Structure 1
């Protein structure tokens, strides 16, 4: 015996007797307010902010200064030993570098009475390659901008998705414009994700190079390999700023130039099909 007897449930009444009609109305109201704020305030503000970051390429005090790639952080990476970074080892096997602790496992090094440098106990010394502080600062700024771009694009997409009118034959140009803008918003936050992957690859690339450097310390090309990798990453972040600006500018102009079709996709003579 079927669970619902001999007849299947009828579906034609599902939306005629809506149990919670206020849910969609409240959602549309909230999303419209959010879209208005994004289009009127947040995207224009972001465009100004990104342009200022790009202008900082001419400012020597900025991490985005194009001359940063000629500074020591980018030109002279070093593999250092703990003895070059600390004033001495602590009893617990840890050394101090400013406020940072360097872990010195006892099974890798141990004190040597003659010179105090320690004996080589493991497969290699406990090498230290310091981070590039300028690059890290650039990454923090660009990553935040990419996260903001992703969320703003998604919020606009949420709003447009729930505003799409009834699908019917003919007179659908406005709806096609909405669909195109949804596609553009989807493309924007996918590109932001791709760029974030590019940002976070910086540490992974340096890690791989430094691991090989620790294995083959006499192979001097590793200095140049890390330097050129860092330089490319700095160039990449500056390029990302321009990509973010392009996405914001493109979205804002497309919405503004097609606004009548976005808010009134059916082209009625009333104040608007959506508003």
Structure 2
């Protein structure tokens, strides 16, 4: 690689760093307050405020079939097991037939998840941007005058924690659908057992509460990140004083 190509790459990387720093500072000073206000307004909408648990209940579209033997002739003999335990053929209920078609996802919760997921993604992306911003401003390792550097490292650790927590919200949503599918399959297999049907309703209520909590946590994380960065902005941008820098 020629010297010209190396210099070109250096300037491209430097332009990327400068652009990232500008985006991060704009995000902290202007973007975060706007997001906090927007999330507060969203949490006051009917989607999250004053909504009863019954509003997120949905019929499973799995009818309760007639019990085994209900359609049998009155004078028909009951099947019994012989003393030698020979197999006996007994007509039973088809449990996976689903005569009314497929079992849909819970529409109120699906709509709510569709609303929440973009905010989770934004928090992950914004946290990643701040993480790189602070990483670029950490000075080279030197002896002494590292108080500002320790502030940078503590702030960076907090941002990384928020990023990991936000990414875990996606896993929480996917686990809800997996859990619901397992319980619905139990309803299809044992349609006469009301406890399985009740378990689906309880799971839906739990997910609704979890989605509300996720939105509150996203709002709270934006508030905490904005607070910690603004309070320490001077030390984050200039971790070492100019007097100390002149000594090296």
TM-score in same-fold range (> 0.5): yes
Q: Could you tell me which residue of structure 2 aligns to residue 140 of structure 1?
A: 114
CA apart distance, 1:151: 0.1
Distance 1:221 1:123 in 2: 16
Distance 1:202 1:174 in 2: 43
Moved more, 62-71 or 234-243: 62-71
1:50 pairs with one of 39, 52, 59 = 39
1:151-230 aligned within 5 A = 151-230=125-204
CA apart distance, 1:167: 0.9
The reply on whether 1:63 has 2:79 as its aligned counterpart is no
Distance 2:122 2:234 in 1: 27
- Relative to 1, partners in 2 of residues 1:122 and 1:227: Cα closer, same or farther, differing over 3 Å? closer
Distance 2:237 2:188 in 1: 61
Q: Could you tell me which residue of structure 1 aligns to residue 61 of structure 2?
A: 79
Q: Could you tell me which residue of structure 1 aligns to residue 87 of structure 2?
A: none
CA apart distance, 1:123: 6.4
1:12-31 aligned within 5 A = 19=7, 20-31=9-20
More helix by share: 2
Instruction: Report SS of the residue matched to 2:51.
Output: helix
Asked if the contact 2:62–2:188 (Cα under 8 Å) also holds between the matched residues in 1, the reply is no
Q: Could you tell me which residue of structure 2 aligns to residue 131 of structure 1?
A: 105
1:106-121 aligned within 5 A = none
Q: CA RMSD in A?
A: 2.4
Asked if the contact 1:35–1:156 (Cα under 8 Å) also holds between the matched residues in 2, the reply is yes
CA displacement 1:157-216 (0-9 Å, x = unmatched): 111111211111110011111111111111111000111211222221210011111111
The one of the two structures with greater contact order (alpha-carbon pairs below 8 A, sep at least 6) is: 2
Instruction: Report SS of the residue matched to 2:242.
Output: coil
Distance 1:269 1:142 in 2: 48
Which 5+ residue runs of structure 1 have no aligned equivalent? 1-17, 57-61, 82-119
CA displacement 1:68-113 (0-9 Å, x = unmatched): 4123x41x533336xxxxxxxxxxxxxxxxxxxxxxxxxxxxxxxx
- Relative to 1, partners in 2 of residues 1:215 and 1:35: Cα closer, same or farther, differing over 3 Å? same
Distance 1:180 1:156 in 2: 13
1:33 pairs with one of 22, 40, 59 = 22
Asked if the contact 2:95–2:188 (Cα under 8 Å) also holds between the matched residues in 1, the reply is no
Which 5+ residue runs of structure 2 have no aligned equivalent? 1-5, 64-91
Q: How many residues align?
A: 210
* TM-score normalised per structure 2: 0.77
Moved more, 219-228 or 22-31: 22-31
Q: Could you tell me which residue of structure 2 aligns to residue 84 of structure 1?
A: none
Q: Could you tell me which residue of structure 2 aligns to residue 7 of structure 1?
A: none
| Runs of 4+ residues deviating >4 angstroms | 120-123
* TM-score normalised per structure 1: 0.70
